[in-house]
Amino acid sequence: MENHKKLSPKLSLLAASLPSTVPFVAPEMTERATGKMFIARLGANESSFGPSPKVEKAIADACSEVFKYGDPDAYDLKQELSKHWNIPAENIIVGEGIDGLMGTLCRLMLDQGDIVVTSNGAYPTFNYQVLGVGGVLEVVPYLNDFEDPDALLSQAKLSGAKMIYIANPDNPMGTHHNAEKIQTMIDSVPDDCLLVLDEAYIELAPNGVASTIDVTNKNVIRLRTFSKAYGLAGARVGYAIGHIDLIKAFDKIRNHFGVNTIGQKAALAALKDQAYVLKIRSAVEHGRNRVEQIALENGLTVIPSSTNFVAIDCGADGDFTRKVLAELVGMGIFVRMASVEPQDRCLRVSIGVPEDIERFALAFPIALERAHAS
């Protein structure tokens, strides 16, 4: 090989074919680009209520252990999750947030060229991870702002898909299917197909949305997180629940020591403080109502939400919403919007603390007016 002068190390064929990109532009990126700090952070469905005071104490206590690598088994956390969900710990894998788990899952399941079915406009990071291993995405449309289980299943059957992705409740629209509908979907997944059921927002959904966990079912894996209701997006702790064979398979390729020590302790404390989750549910419901009121005050409607964000139908097309968004960002309000038609008529506002929502309330009519005028 030493004769081939002027060569340089080549990326893998797959990597060479992929773009360098980011699934989401972070608010910090925008702040650096504009030179202006956001005054309200309502775009990433973070919980600006923050974690429970008990979690804050756990983080402070964990400081003395930050010199230690995190437990690769996340044993204590898995034991508590096991108790909490009444399932064996061996059916749970803890990872670096749902994003991290999705990356590992795609590597585990997909050969290059394998087909994955999702909804057009659903979670971009999942798509990024599928493409990152050479998977092929097929999309079906939303149906009236809901992900469409029947269409997803039909497409998967038609194309012999390896995986189907659905989020329940959905992001970015905030809609949900009830447990029965999801159970019917699980029961209808082709035998050789895996349903990736993203339940990032499940703790914030009404009762009756979470379908019963059956860890003997090989056709579904559930993704959960401490990033939303628990207020720990920055801690990077998510988990997956599934059949033991699939959960064990994560040990083939995962970054065993990837979940940080403080995050593990924080998640454990968060899980133990369910009273705080109830408070957050109530605060988020209050916030959703307030955002609906703001929409109504501006002559607009919202999509009923089962999450910690609300999609406001801006009453026109995506170009209009993009203008509204740009105006809001210009006024220091970080929000996001749906990415594809027809959902992109909607602005997505995360439910943060009331002060932030009120900053949005002040800016929104101005943004709408300017967008109309432009």
Answer yes or no whether residue 366 interacts with a second copy by CB under 8 A.
Answer: no
As measured in angstroms, the least distance from the Cβ of 275 to a second copy is 18
- The pairs formed by 97-100 with CB atoms below 8 angstroms and a separation of 24 or more are 97/225, 97/227, 97/236, 97/237, 97/238, 98/198, 98/200, 98/223, 98/224, 98/225, 98/227, 98/238, 99/125, 99/129, 99/238, 100/236, 100/238, 100/255, 100/258
Q: Which is nearer to a second copy, 189 or 311 (CB)?
A: 189
Q: Encoding tokens for residue 281? A: 């549910």
Answer yes or no whether residue 21 interacts with a second copy by CB under 8 A.
Answer: yes
Instruction: Name the CA radius of gyration of the chain, rounded.
Output: 21
Contact with a second copy (CB under 8 A): which of 30, 39, 54, 73?
Answer: 73
Evaluate whether 354 touches 287 at the Cβ level (below 8 Å).
yes
Answer yes or no whether residue 7 interacts with a second copy by CB under 8 A.
Answer: yes
**Which of the ranges 188-196, 300-308, 335-343, 355-363 carries the binding residues for a second copy, by CB under 8 A?**
188-196
Answer yes or no whether residue 239 interacts with a second copy by CB under 8 A.
Answer: no
Q: Which amino acid is at 295?
A: A
As measured in angstroms, the least distance from the Cβ of 2 to a second copy is 5
Q: Which amino acid is at 45?
A: N
Answer yes or no whether residue 309 interacts with a second copy by CB under 8 A.
Answer: no
Taking the CA of residue 186 as centre, how many other CA atoms within 13 Å lie in the half-sphere pointing to its CB? 26
As measured in angstroms, the least distance from the Cβ of 19 to a second copy is 7
* DSSP state letter for 12: P
Q: Which is nearer to a second copy, 31 or 285 (CB)?
A: 31
User: Alpha-carbon distance 26 to 37, whole Å?
Assistant: 12
Contact with a second copy (CB under 8 A): which of 83, 206, 214, 253?
Answer: 253
Contact with a second copy (CB under 8 A): which of 141, 258, 304, 342?
Answer: 258
Helical axes 318-330 vs 354-373, angle rounded to 10°: 120
What lies within 8 Å, CB to CB, of 124 at 6+ separation is 23, 24, 339
Q: Which is nearer to a second copy, 68 or 212 (CB)?
A: 68
Contact with a second copy (CB under 8 A): which of 5, 33, 212, 275?
Answer: 5
**Which of the ranges 248-256, 295-303, 315-323, 341-349 carries the binding residues for a second copy, by CB under 8 A?**
248-256
Answer yes or no whether residue 216 interacts with a second copy by CB under 8 A.
Answer: no
Per-residue x/- marks for a second copy, 32-71, CB under 8 A? x--------x--x-xxxxxx----x--xx--xxxxxxxxx
Per-residue x/- marks for a second copy, 101-140, CB under 8 A? --x---xxxxx--x-----------------xx-------
**Which of the ranges 14-22, 178-186, 201-209, 282-290 carries the binding residues for a second copy, by CB under 8 A?**
14-22
Contact with a second copy (CB under 8 A): which of 88, 257, 317, 365?
Answer: 257
User: Alpha-carbon distance 190 to 186, whole Å?
Assistant: 9
Cα separation values, 334 from 38, 138, 325, 368, Å: 6, 30, 8, 15
Contact with a second copy (CB under 8 A): which of 151, 249, 316, 326?
Answer: 249
Burial classification of residue 63, based on how many CB atoms lie within 10 Å of its CB (0-12 exposed, 13-18 middle, 19 or more buried): exposed
User: Alpha-carbon distance 237 to 256, whole Å?
Assistant: 13
Q: Which amino acid is at 41?
A: R
**Which of the ranges 80-88, 91-99, 179-187, 206-214 carries the binding residues for a second copy, by CB under 8 A?**
91-99
Answer yes or no whether residue 19 interacts with a second copy by CB under 8 A.
Answer: yes
As measured in angstroms, the least distance from the Cβ of 4 to a second copy is 6
